[in-house]
Amino acid sequence: MKAFHYTAVQAEPVEEQPGVTIRWAIGKNVGAPNFVTRVIEVQPGSSTAYHQHPWEHEAFVLYGHGSVRTADGETPVGPGTCIYVAPNEVHQFINKGDTVFRFLCIIPFVED
Per DSSP, the three-state class of 103 is: strand
- Tell me the sheet residues that pair with 26: 37
* Count of domains for the chain: 1
Work out the mean pLDDT of the chain and round it to a whole number: 96
Q: 45 lies in a domain?
A: yes
The domain that holds 58 is classified in CATH as: 2.60.120.10
Q: 6 lies in a domain?
A: no
> How many whole angstroms separate alpha carbon 91 and alpha carbon 12?
21
- In this prediction the pTM is 0.94
Q: 1 lies in a domain?
A: no
Q: Is the pLDDT of residue 111 over 90?
A: no
Question: Can you give the three-state secondary structure of 41-71, one letter per residue?
Answer: EECCCCECCCECCCCCEEEEEEECCEEEEEC
Tens of pLDDT, residue by residue over 60-100, are 999 999 999 999 999 999 999 999 999 999 999 999 999 99
Domain that residue 31 falls in: 11-108
Q: 2 lies in a domain?
A: no
> How many whole angstroms separate alpha carbon 11 and alpha carbon 20?
10
Q: Is the pLDDT of residue 39 over 80?
A: yes
